[in-house]
Structure formats: C-alpha cells, structure tokens
C-alpha cells in the first residue's frame, strides 16, 4: 500500500476565452462560471500534474546526508527546494551524495535516475520510490 504525505495539483484551461479568475463548471446546472480570485489561469491545453512528496523523515535524512557530504554547518538551511548546485555541490559531490544515500537507505540508484536529481526533494522522492520498490 502506497502512502504519501503531500501532493499538489496544477491545472490550466483548454480555452483562453475565460476571464483571469473564472473557471467553467461543466455538469453543474444553472452555473456556467465560478469566480476564483486565488486561482491563476494560463492559456494552453488542459494538463493535470500530481506530484507526491516524500515522507518528512526521509527528507530530513536526505538533508542530513547532504549537509554531511558537503561539510555544511549544522545550522545551514537545506530544504527540499535546495538545489545541489546552489549548495556548492559539483559532479563529484553529487556522486558521493548518491553513494551516501544508497548506503543509508540500502538501495541502488541507477545512473539515469541519479542524473535527474536536481534538488534535495528530487533525491528524497526517488529514495521513497526505490525503497517502496525494494520492499514490495
């Protein structure tokens, strides 16, 4: 059974004829448009994107490993949004981080997957996926 601790949904409409803050409601009688002031609508084809975030404890472990591998001070800000390059990691550092993650979580990360990791959150999400796969 899969679990997730967070998710996000992003929508964009098929039609560009709507006002900035109105969304069509199909299948609801007597209502054509709903005004949503906080919803931003961008012209383009309808897309739905769902992304699940890793468990907080996985993200915390990844942050700790990144901090250790890059010899960052304990009080330095490393979050899910932190990019490895912005933290000062070069390609060798990134390889060492991946090796540390593999050891800590008992997983093996393929080279193609490792190359797609840009942020700490990317790494945590990949780990969750690989751990789930390993335990299945």
Estimate the share of the chain in helix, then strand, then coil, as percent rounded to the nearest 5: 35, 15, 50
In 3D, which of 133, 132, 122, 136 has the Cα closest to residue 51? 122
Q: Which structural domains are found in the chain, ordered by start?
A: 56-135 (1.10.1200.10)
pLDDT tens sequence for the chain (136 residues) = 444 444 444 444 444 444 444 445 455 455 444 455 555 555 656 554 445 678 999 999 999 999 999 999 988 999 999 999 999 999 999 999 999 999 999 999 999 999 999 999 999 999 999 999 888 8
Q: Which of 90, 93, 122, 135 is catalytic?
A: 90
75 is catalytic: no
Indicate the pTM of the whole model: 0.61
């Amino acid at each position: 059974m899969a679990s997730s601790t967070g998710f996000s949904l992003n929508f964009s409409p098929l039609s560009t004829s709507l006002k900035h803050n109105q969304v069509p409601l199909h299948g609801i009688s007597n209502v054509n448009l709903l005004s949503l002031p906080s919803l931003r609508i961008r012209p383009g084809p309808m897309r739905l994107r769902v992304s699940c975030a890793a468990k907080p404890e996985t993200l915390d472990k990844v942050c700790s490993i990144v901090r250790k591998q890059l010899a960052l001070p304990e009080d330095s800000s490393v979050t899910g949004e932190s990019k490895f390059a912005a933290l000062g990691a070069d390609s060798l550092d990134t390889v060492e981080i991946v090796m540390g993650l593999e050891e800590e979580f008992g997983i093996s990360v393929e080279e193609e997957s490792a190359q797609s990791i840009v942020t700490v959150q990317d790494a945590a999400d990949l780990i969750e996926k690989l751990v789930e796969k390993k335990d299945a």
